[in-house]
Chains A and B, each alone.
Chain A
C-alpha cells in the first residue's frame, strides 16, 4: 500500500473532526498519532517515526491537512522534540520526546539576555558544576510562556576562559523550582506576551545537557533553524490576528470608510502596499519552486526583511487613514486603536528573531558573498570581553 493510501486509511478510521477537534478528545487523538508514527514520519521507528523519506513525509502532512487533523509534521516543526532527539542522551530521549510530541510538556526558550540580543553568543548566564548537577545564575529575557512552562531550552556559559562561541552549553532546564523567578514584560503595545526570567542558584542535572560541553552554539543553531522554519507565517495582521491576505482589501475598505478613497495620495499608497504584499507572495512561491527544482534559493532569506517592510508600510498608511483618531485607543476608537497597535507591533517583526539590520548582514554575507563583519571579541577569551 502506498504511504498516501496508508495514512488516508488510518485517518479515515481514527479521525472524526466532529468529536475530536478540541479539548480532551483532541489530546487523545494526538497521542494516537504519535503512537502510530505519523507525528514525526521522517524519524526512525525507534523514535516515534516511520523512517519515511522527506517526500513521503510531505505526503503524510498533506493527508493530515486535507482532513484538518492535527499532530503531524512535528519532525519539521517541533523544535523542542527535534532538538532533544538530535542532541539528547538515549535516556533523555526516552523520557521527553514522546511527551513533547504529545504536547504534554510545556516549553519555553531561555536564549536572549539583556546584554545578549543580536549578539547571542555573548550570554553571561553562568552554569557552575556541582556534583552531577549545574548551578545556574543569570537573567534571561523575551521568554514567552515562561509562567506555564515545565522546561526551558537554556543557553548558558560553562567556560569563560575560551572565546565566546566555544564556552557555551545547552540544557533542557526544569522551570518549576526555587531559584526561577518569572516577571512579565510589558511591551510597547501594552500587551505582555514575554517575560524576564531570573535564575538564582537554580539547578539542572548534567544528564539534561543537549550536546557536548562547550558545544552549545552548535545546538542553538539547529534549534534556531527549526524555529525560523515556522516563523514566516507568524506575523500578526492585527489584534484579532487575521491572515495577511485579508489585510489588503481591508485597507481599501478602510479608505472607503474614512472617505479617503478619492484621495490620490492615499490611492498611490494603497497600490504600493498591495504591490509589496503581492510581490512577497510571489517571492515565496518562487523560492518554493526553486527549492523543489533542487537549486538553492536566495529569495527565501529575503522574506523576513520583506515582511517588516510590509508591516511598517501598511501601518503607516493605516495611520494616515485614521488621522486624528490615531490619538485615541481602546474599543471606542477601533480605527485609531488598530493603527497604533499595528505601527507599534510592526517592530515585533523588524526586531524579533534577528533585527532587520542583522538580517541585512546575513543576506549580504551569505547570499551576496560580501566580507564578514569584523568581530573584535571573536578570538578573545570571554572573561576579557567587555559587556554591557
Chain B
C-alpha cells in the first residue's frame, strides 16, 4: 500500500528530527521556554531552518525550500508533538506557508516564502482558530480599499503564535467577498493570552485601520482557505498522533517501573486493560494521520471529508490518552513536576484548534454525503 510504505528517506528524516529535538527540546528546555515571554528560542528556530530545513520543508526549491509534501510535514510534526516542541512551527509552516502555496499569487510567494524557509520570518494565519463553525474565517475582520491601499479593522480572538508573528496572513471581508491580506505583525495590536498550554501560544489580534496588502484576487479567498484549513487539520492530526504515541510510551514505561503491592503496577489488569485500549487509540491515530497526509499528497478528491474524520479521531484519541496517562501515573501524575500534565494541556487545547471533534464530525458527514 503506497500510503503506509516507509521509504528509507522518510525513516532518515524522522531519525534526524528526533535526534535534533532530543538535543534541543528536552523536558528541561520545554519547561524553561514555558516561562518566557517569547515562548520559543530564536537560536534553535534558526538552527531548525539552517541544519534541518524544517521551516522550508514544503516550500518549493525555487523559493529556497525542500519542496517536500504533506507526508514529510506529517513526519516532522509527529516528532514535534512527541517533544512538545516550543516553536511557532505549526503556525509558520502548516498554516502560513501552506496558505501562501495555495493562494494564486506568485508575487506574494516570492516575497514571503524565502524568508519563511530561512527562519527569518515567523508567520501565522489570523483565523480564529477556535470554533470555525460559529465563527468562519474572516468573519471578525473587514477590509476597505482606500487611496493609500487596503485598511483592515476588526479582531481575531485566538490566533496561533500571533504574538510572535512577523507576518500575519489575514482573511477579511471586502465588498467582493472573503479576501486575504498580508499584514506586518508589528502594525497589529497583539495581546498575548495566558494559554493553558504554555508550549503553544495564542494572541488576540486587533486591527484598527491597519494597512494590509491583498493576496490573490479580491473576493477569491474562500476555496483557498477551505483547502488550507483541510491541510492544516491533517498536519495538526499528525502532531496530535505523534504526541499521543509518545505519551503512551512514557506511561507504559512508568507502569513497568512503578511498584506497589510488591509488583509493577503494569501487572494489574486494571492498568493493563487501560493501556491496551490506549494502544488501539494511539495506533489508530497514527494510521489515520499518515493516511490523510498521503491522501493529500496524492490529490485525493475526498480529502475534505477525510481531513475532518481524521482530525476528530486524533483530537479525541490524544485527549483520552493524555488524560488516562495522568490517572495511570497516580499521585505523581497530579504534580506539576511530572510531564504528564504538560501533554494533557497540549491535548486539550489542540483539540479546540481549527474546530473541535464534534465540529469535524458534523463537517465529515456533510462532506461525505454530498
Q: B169 within 8 Å of A by Cβ?
A: no
A272: chain B residues at CB < 8 Å are 361
Residue-by-residue, is A320-360 near B (CB-CB < 8 Å gives 1, otherwise 0)?
00000000000000000000000000000000000001011
Are B312 and A271 in contact, CB atoms less than 8 angstroms apart? yes
A17 and B130 CA atoms in complex are apart in Å by 58
Q: B275 within 8 Å of A by Cβ?
A: yes
Q: A120 within 8 Å of B by Cβ?
A: no
A305-B276 contact given A274-B368, A370-B252, CB 8 Å threshold: yes
Are B279 and A370 in contact, CB atoms less than 8 angstroms apart? no
In the complex, how many residues of chain B place their beta carbon closer than 8 angstroms to a beta carbon of chain A? 38
Q: Which residues 306-351 of B sit at the A interface, judged by CB distance below 8 A?
A: 309, 312-313
A264 and B256 CA atoms in complex are apart in Å by 43
Are B288 and A279 in contact, CB atoms less than 8 angstroms apart? yes
Q: Which residues 243-282 of B sit at the A interface, judged by CB distance below 8 A?
A: 252, 255-256, 263-264, 266-267, 269, 271-273, 275-277, 279-280
A289-B5 contact given A279-B284, A279-B287, CB 8 Å threshold: yes
A299: chain B residues at CB < 8 Å are 283, 287
Q: A302 within 8 Å of B by Cβ?
A: yes
Are B291 and A371 in contact, CB atoms less than 8 angstroms apart? no
Are A306 and B284 in contact, CB atoms less than 8 angstroms apart? yes
In the complex, how many residues of chain A place their beta carbon closer than 8 angstroms to a beta carbon of chain B? 42
Are B263 and A267 in contact, CB atoms less than 8 angstroms apart? no
A264-B362 contact given A271-B309, A305-B280, CB 8 Å threshold: yes
A160 and B269 CA atoms in complex are apart in Å by 30
Q: A252 within 8 Å of B by Cβ?
A: yes
- Determine which of A270, A367, A370 lies in contact with B256 in the assembled complex, contact meaning CB atoms within 8 Å: A370
A305 and B280 CA atoms in complex are apart in Å by 8
Q: A13 within 8 Å of B by Cβ?
A: no
Count A-B pairs with CB separation below 8 Å.
129
Are A267 and B288 in contact, CB atoms less than 8 angstroms apart? no
A309: chain B residues at CB < 8 Å are 280
Residue-by-residue, is B225-257 near A (CB-CB < 8 Å gives 1, otherwise 0)?
000000000000000000000000000100110
A283: chain B residues at CB < 8 Å are 283-284, 287
- Determine which of A285, A361, A367 lies in contact with B279 in the assembled complex, contact meaning CB atoms within 8 Å: A367
A71 to chain B, nearest CB (A): 27
A363: chain B residues at CB < 8 Å are 276, 279-280
Q: B369 within 8 Å of A by Cβ?
A: yes
A363 and B288 CA atoms in complex are apart in Å by 20
A264 and B266 CA atoms in complex are apart in Å by 40
Are B6 and A302 in contact, CB atoms less than 8 angstroms apart? no
Are A369 and B256 in contact, CB atoms less than 8 angstroms apart? yes
Residue-by-residue, is A268-303 near B (CB-CB < 8 Å gives 1, otherwise 0)?
101110110011101101101110110000110010
A274, A293, A357 — which one has the most chain B CB atoms within 10 A of its CB?
A274
Q: B290 within 8 Å of A by Cβ?
A: yes
A298: chain B residues at CB < 8 Å are 279, 283
Closest residue of chain A to B255, judged by CB? A370
Are B279 and A267 in contact, CB atoms less than 8 angstroms apart? no
Q: B70 within 8 Å of A by Cβ?
A: no
- Determine which of A278, A279, A360, A369 lies in contact with B277 in the assembled complex, contact meaning CB atoms within 8 Å: A360
A280 to chain B, nearest CB (A): 7
Are B6 and A293 in contact, CB atoms less than 8 angstroms apart? yes
A357 and B256 CA atoms in complex are apart in Å by 20
A30 to chain B, nearest CB (A): 31
Are B313 and A275 in contact, CB atoms less than 8 angstroms apart? yes
Q: A368 within 8 Å of B by Cβ?
A: yes
Q: A373 within 8 Å of B by Cβ?
A: yes
Are A290 and B279 in contact, CB atoms less than 8 angstroms apart? no
Q: A245 within 8 Å of B by Cβ?
A: no
A272 to chain B, nearest CB (A): 6
A368-B252 contact given A275-B312, A360-B272, CB 8 Å threshold: yes
Q: B18 within 8 Å of A by Cβ?
A: no
Closest residue of chain A to B4, judged by CB? A289
A270, A278, A305 — which one has the most chain B CB atoms within 10 A of its CB?
A278
B328 to chain A, nearest CB (A): 12
Are B269 and A280 in contact, CB atoms less than 8 angstroms apart? no
A293 and B280 CA atoms in complex are apart in Å by 21
8 pairs from A and B in contact (CB 8 Å cutoff)? A270-B365, A283-B284, A283-B287, A288-B1, A293-B5, A364-B273, A370-B271, A372-B267
Interface residue ranges, B against A (CB under 8 Å): 1, 3-6, 252, 255-256, 263-264, 266-267, 269, 271-273, 275-277, 279-280, 283-284, 286-288, 290-291, 309, 312-313, 358, 361-362, 364-365, 368-369
The 9 closest A-B CB pairs, nearest first, are A271-B361, A371-B267, A289-B4, A364-B272, A360-B276, A370-B266, A363-B276, A282-B287, A360-B273
